[in-house]
Amino acid sequence: MAEPAPVEVRGLCKSYGELIAVDDVDLTVEAGDVFGYLGPNGAGKTTSLRMMLGLIAPSAGSVRLFGRDPQLSVKALQGVAGFVEAPTFYPYLNGRTNLDLFAALDGEGAKGRIREALEIVGLSHRAKDKVGTYSHGMRQRLGIAAALLREPRLLLLDEPATGLDPGGMRDMRDLIRNLSAQGMTVLLSSPLLGFGERARAVAEAQAGIGDIRAAPEAGLTFSAESEEAIGALSLALAESGALTLELSSRQASLEDLFFRLTEGEEAETAKRERALEGAA
């Protein structure tokens, strides 16, 4: 018998008087997925995650985590970790000590996993610094480290990339990608509606389309061999049901310019060297 899905939500609703915060949400997150729960600010993403974690009760509908209802038993949260809104720490304590406190609450060998968690999120070199000196992105990564102490099979993250600079957003994407590669299921909410995996899958299947990338606030970017390839992609996107707001040529984004300025010399040199190697 197949194991239940990490997350299964049906008819989920939450209302506060006449205010409807979440209205009839259905979703299933399969094992190993990186699932984006997308929507603009105020759409009810955080409220949904609170219900999934059993922090608040739904007005209607159901939540199952690995087949268990978090409203009925704390056992439903076994193998589940994450944070809702921004993770909170003691700013006058260092990163390692903050994780020590989390480990004391989790028990079950969590203290012995602190070093590995810090390495995974790339904070080993700042473990002895006070959290008050951390950047926003570093605090987000420390929040993920705290979640990893529980050895979760399912990680729920509420807008982990919000407020990060381009470098921080890239680091967060790489971190989530690496966690998924290790077999972890990740559900993350995001206001960045540009990450359309259906559109990306369609683009990757099209002849003459390459260099496909997800770009924050800019949807997907790609290169095309011809105008005919772009026309065929436009038709395929429409047939797939993917919502396409705009299909146009683009200039360098602010993120592109940022990395050119901060990494330009090394990146351009490496690029030229690769080109020479290819020509040889």
**Could you give the 3-state DSSP secondary structure of residue 173?**
helix
User: Which residues are bridge partners to 158 per DSSP?
Assistant: 189
Put simply, whether the predicted model's pTM sits higher than 0.85 gets the answer no
Establish if 2 belongs to a structural domain. no
Range of the domain at 27: 7-190
267 vs 273: CA distance, rounded Å: 10
Retrieve residue 168's tokens: 């921080």
Question: What ranges in the chain are assigned the alpha helix state H?
Answer: 45-52, 95-106, 114-120, 136-148, 166-181, 197-204, 227-240, 254-279
Q: pLDDT of 96-110, one tens digit each?
A: 999 999 998 877 788
Rounded Cα gap, residues 111 and 113, in angstroms: 5
Q: What are the structure tokens assigned to 227, written together?
A: 């105008």
Decide if pLDDT at 275 tops 50: no
Per the structure, the count of domains in the chain is: 2
Domain assignment of residue 209, yes or no:
yes
State the pLDDT confidence band at 195, using cuts at 50, 70 and 90.
very low
What would the pLDDT profile of 223-273 be if each residue is shown by its tens digit? 888 888 888 888 877 665 555 656 666 655 666 666 666 666 555 555 444
CATH of the domain at 36: 3.40.50.300
Residues facing residue 189 across a β-bridge:
37, 158
Evaluate whether residue 1 is within a structural domain. no
Residue 270 lies inside a defined structural domain of this protein: yes
